[in-house]
Structure 1
């Protein structure tokens, strides 16, 4: 279980770092604005800017789905598999 936790934590940390970095570059118009990181992107006219926006969105979903995969879905599937194996053994 510790292996799954550290994998999920690594994806959560890397995704969060990427989301904060690209959000700070492309979605924060001013440091003093109240709403940051979730503003719509403004003034992105280059291909590199578009790639940065895509990388920021991908980092956000990596943070969410990576943690959910290793913290929820994999342990849940292992418990379900163990439960089904126990049911199969008791049926025989």
Structure 2
């Protein structure tokens, strides 16, 4: 169980750091303004800006779903499989 938690935690930290870096660049208009959650204000985005915005959203959802998968789903499936094998025996 500890190895699944560490895998999920590593995904959360790594993807979260990537998201925070990109969100800091693209979603922080100023120090005194809304930070990390403001809509990106790019008048004419280049291909690199568009890739960064897509990667930012992907990293956010990967952090959420990756963590939940390794911390909740996989251990839950193992418990269900264990309970089903005990009930058959």
The TM-score bracket by the shorter chain reads: over 0.9
Q: Write the distance in 2 (CA, Å) between the matches of 1:41 and 1:47.
A: 15
Rounded to whole Å, the distance in 1 between the matches of 2:81 and 2:45 is 50
Matched, 1:37 2:52: no
Gaps of 5+ in 1: none
TM-score (norm 2): 0.94
Q: Which runs of 4+ in 1 moved over 3 A?
A: none
Alignment partner, residue 83 of structure 1: 83
Q: CA deviation at 1:2?
A: 1.1
Gaps of 5+ in 2: none
Structure index of larger Rg: 1
Question: Aligned pairs, how many?
Answer: 88
Distance 1:59 1:14 in 2: 9
